[in-house]
Amino acid sequence: MKRETTRTDVFTRRALMIGGVQLAAMGVLAAKLYQVQVVEGERYATLAESNRISARLIAPPRGRLLDRTGTVIGGNRLNWRALLVAEQTEDASVTLDNLSRIVPIADHERARIEREVRRHRRFIPIMVREFLTWEDMARIEVNAPDLPGILVDVGTTRQYPFGPALAHVVGYVAPPAEADMADDPMMALPGIRVGRAGMEKVHDRVLRGRAGAVQLEVNAVGRVIRELDRQEGTQGQDVTLTIDNELQKSVQARLGDESASTVVLDARNGEVMAMVTNPSFDPSVFNSGVSQAQWVAWTSNRRAPLINKAAAGLYAPGSTYKMVVAMAGLEAKVISPGETISCPGYLDFGDRRFHCWSKYGHGGMDMRAALKNSCDVYFYEVARRVGIDRLAAMSNRFGLGVKLDFELPGTRTGLVPTRAWRAGQGKAWNIGDTIVSGIGQGYLQLTPVSLATMAARIATGRAVQPHLTRAINNVVQPGSKAEDWPNMGLQERGLQIARQGMWAVVNEGGGTAPLARLSIPGVQMAGKTGSVQVRNVTREQRERGFKSENLPWEFRPHALFVAYAPYDSPRYALAVVVEHGNAGAQAAAPLARDIMTDVLNRDPAGRRETQRVADKGS
């Protein structure tokens, strides 16, 4: 009996001990549950919700570039892409290894991705692959459980519907560099592009817009279940250019295979109607990446398709410069319009002989006749009397050798020499260099856009500036009216002589450019030819009957033509440069005639004004 009582006591104590332990454990558990559910309940609810909901930034659509009629010349299209969100995977390298078995990733791309993972915050999506096919997307979605942190997204990519026709004007975009990302965190978002050339670069900030955000519901392996909320980014603003797309394409087609450039301006306000460089390139290639083979093909092409020759190509202006020489002579009062200078075919000065293009000379020439016949000897003498510094000052007034308010990146100022410029090189100015400057050669180096500006200023007498931006978000920018540009303050009589000489070049018997004559009834064009040597011709070569057309292409003279029309009411001005075209009268003048005919028939500036009136009326 005593033993049974002892056993009962032992069992009771053990039961109490076990019960006490269990009660303590239940107390600890209850306390922990209280801590989790009550004290920290809100925090864990937030964590659970954040595991269920994935918030991601989305890049805003880039603003569009439009031509003057509203046609999209730089727009957007859908782009399917694979992104990596580092915070959603324990090991990004393993995830990339698995993805590379489905969609190949090049070594240099792998290095870029890993570099961006280290550099950016882990919640920021990083571009892994873009321009995915439907098959690529399907394989990624099927293998989603093995690809934590990888998601398929749709964004936009830049599209240039007219490709090479507008490449040098519109420019192109490319992924941002590290410096861009340091300045603006939005640059780290997948799909963001930065303007690298042309008007894409000029208006990059305006075109970018502001980032948006999307909230997605995901399951335990990161697969997207549904989209909960989306706040689209603010699209970049649209920019309307002065270019007429249809005219631009027409001009490029007319240039054919020539290595050439053309600029067409509204002579009254400087709006660029067309700016064509030939050959060109496809700007969309830069968006997806330029291959090594493509880059070598571009850079090894002696006709330089990547260079915007219209704005950055430098050429001696040749005889297209003679109107400026004439105006400098009149302003300096070293010659009058009616004074004649005898041309025997050459000018001897010191021990040098400067030849006229006409071997037998032109006889006595006044200013109008000298322009009509492009007499070199006449302009040698006028330049000698004027002097290089006064000649440079007049050139600057016509927009030559000075920085124009032209927004296109890479536009070059060119060179109009002065004594000070030569002294800066440690050399004295030579009077012989002044003489050859009189026919637009020597050190003179100008761009086609500056030559078109010169033609517009001769035609109107106003200091117009070339420009490509017409409106931003439909707000017309200053400079669209003729009265926005000041009068040049030149003698009207002098301008009339220059205009009459240019008219005679094209329309009067004996002029140097009969091939430039327009066939439009009642409409005439004024113009001036130019042929520019790219290598010296010796006296012996001249005596042997040297012909430049027999030279290899790269040694032939450049062919130039500047013009405006209609003569009696100037509306459009243009410049044409045909590299190694040999003679302006044969190579450049017919091109100018056809281009100006097309411009006048289309009348892009007048058509836009008519549309504005109609819009106001409605």
Name the phi and psi angles at 222, rounded to 5: 90, 5
Predicted confidence at residue 612, as pLDDT, reads: 44
> Do residues 144 and 225 touch, judged by C-beta distance below 8 A?
no
> Among residues of the chain, what percentage have pLDDT more than 70?
84
The CA angle 449-454-460, to the nearest 5 degrees, is 125
The CA angle 477-480-481, to the nearest 5 degrees, is 135
CA–CA distance, 387 with 187 (Å, rounded to integer): 54
DSSP 446-494: B-HHHHHHHHHHHHH-B----B-EEEETTEEPTT-SGGGS-B----HHH
CA–CA distance, 563 with 565 (Å, rounded to integer): 7
Measure CA 60 to chain center. Answer: 22
Name the phi and psi angles at 421, rounded to 5: -60, -45
Question: What is the mean pLDDT of the segment spanning 23-33?
Answer: 72
Closest by CA position to 173, among listed 95, 283, 56: 283
> Do residues 559 and 591 touch, judged by C-beta distance below 8 A?
no
CATH code assigned to 245-280+305-615: 3.40.710.10
Would the pLDDT of 16 be above 80?
no
CA–CA distance, 222 with 52 (Å, rounded to integer): 9
As to burial, measured by CB atoms within 10 angstroms (0-12 exposed, 13-18 middle, 19+ buried), residue 603 is middle
Structure token digits, residue 237: 């603003």
More confident residue, 85 or 32: 85
> Do residues 284 and 160 touch, judged by C-beta distance below 8 A?
yes
> Do residues 294 and 285 touch, judged by C-beta distance below 8 A?
yes
Question: What is the mean pLDDT of the segment spanning 276-294?
Answer: 84
For the chain, the helix, strand and coil percentages under 3-state DSSP, each to the nearest 5? 45, 20, 35
Predicted confidence at residue 156, as pLDDT, reads: 74
Name the phi and psi angles at 76, rounded to 5: -130, 150
DSSP state letter for 184: -
For the chain, what is the mean pLDDT? 86
Question: What is the mean pLDDT of the segment spanning 409-436?
Answer: 95
Sequence ranges of the domains in the chain = 2-39, 54-241, 245-280+305-615
> Among residues of the chain, what percentage have pLDDT more than 90?
53
Closest by CA position to 93, among listed 51, 144, 138, 150: 150
Q: Per residue in 381-408, pLDDT tens?
A: 999 999 999 999 999 999 999 999 899 9
Predicted confidence at residue 221, as pLDDT, reads: 53
CA–CA distance, 172 with 157 (Å, rounded to integer): 12
Q: Per residue in 1-11, pLDDT tens?
A: 555 555 566 55
Total residues found in the chain within this entry:
618
Measure CA 238 to chain center. Answer: 16
Q: What is the 3-state secondary structure (H, E, C) of 552-595?
A: CHHHCCEEEEEEEECCCCCCEEEEEEECCCCCHHHHHHHHHHHH
Window from 36-45, 496-505, 507-516 with minimum mean pLDDT? 36-45
Across 187-324, the runs of DSSP E, i.e. the strands, are: 194-197, 212-218, 224-231, 239-241, 260-266, 272-278
CA–CA distance, 264 with 248 (Å, rounded to integer): 9
Question: What is the mean pLDDT of the segment spanning 594-609?
Answer: 88
Window from 28-42, 101-115, 193-207 with minimum mean pLDDT? 28-42
More confident residue, 104 or 260: 260
Indicate the pLDDT class of residue 220, thresholds 50, 70 and 90: low
Question: What is the mean pLDDT of the segment spanning 271-286?
Answer: 92
Indicate the pLDDT class of residue 536, thresholds 50, 70 and 90: low
CA–CA distance, 447 with 315 (Å, rounded to integer): 6
More confident residue, 276 or 476: 276
Window from 148-152, 264-268, 500-504 with minimum mean pLDDT? 148-152
More confident residue, 228 or 68: 68
CATH architecture of 54-241: Alpha-Beta Complex (3.90)
Predicted confidence at residue 89, as pLDDT, reads: 86
Closest by CA position to 563, among listed 427, 425, 455, 432: 455
Residue 155: count of CB within 10 angstroms of its CB: 20
* CA distance from start to end of the chain: 117
Q: Per residue in 151-176, pLDDT tens?
A: 887 777 788 999 999 999 999 998 88
Three-state DSSP state, 615: helix
CA distances from 19 to 23, 33, 434, 617 (A): 6, 20, 115, 95
Would the pLDDT of 512 be above 90?
yes
Predicted confidence at residue 45, as pLDDT, reads: 55
Predicted confidence at residue 119, as pLDDT, reads: 79
The amino acid present at 256, given as its one-letter code, is G
CA–CA distance, 502 with 506 (Å, rounded to integer): 7
